[in-house]
Amino acid sequence: MTPRTVHIAAYDTLADWECGHAIAHLRSGSYFRPAQEAYEVVTVAATTDRPVTTMGGQRIVPDLALAALRPEDSAMLILPGAQLWNSGEELAPFARKAGEFLDAGVPVAAICGATAGLAREGLLNDRPHTSGAAQYLAAQPGYQGGDHYREADAVRVFGLITAGPTEPVAFAREIFGQLQVMEPRVLEAWYRLFAYSDAASFPVLMAAGKAGDEDGPV
């Protein structure tokens, strides 16, 4: 049976805005296909001995230590950006864990600074990807994937999702697409509403909404 748990990495200086759309909808099940259940969202940190503090000052008490995370127990690993991705190798174990997931055929979604971590680990050298800027990745030691860089809001290929820091909605769109939680028409409507405030998409979401969604998108 496919796991119904999505794991999201948690570390100090995590960029609060980058994964909110994705994890909120995965956990609530809003606008999912009728037969789809919501996912459990589990936070993973280097250790569970202490909370982590995000860039915005929120304190997160981790559910699971990174060493205990196994690809076979997960539907996806999400790696948010963080200032720490740009200041040494403290978060390198998370990039190595992403490599384990990809080797096991379990999807990985990385945004902003996390793409730099994957680049340093060599995970972008032969996979199409994007980030905040091509120059940002080109400056990372071990990165040789320039020919596979795409100028796009988000890229999803072979179970790897990447995006830059300005694209949390597109990032969520590709996560939902990878997990196939929404009908294509509903996913497009969701994206257009949250990315462009497209009022014409509102009725599509209302028709797809489950109990509890009657008051509209949140």
Question: Hey, which residues are catalytic here?
Answer: 112
Residue type, 19: C
Cα 148 to Cα 89, 104, 119, 125, 128: the distances in Å are 24, 22, 12, 7, 5
Q: Where are the beta strands (DSSP E) in the chain?
A: 5-9, 40-45, 52-53, 59-60, 64-65, 76-79, 108-111, 154-157, 160-163
As given in the structure block, the two tokens for residue 158 are 């072979």
Residue type, 135: Q
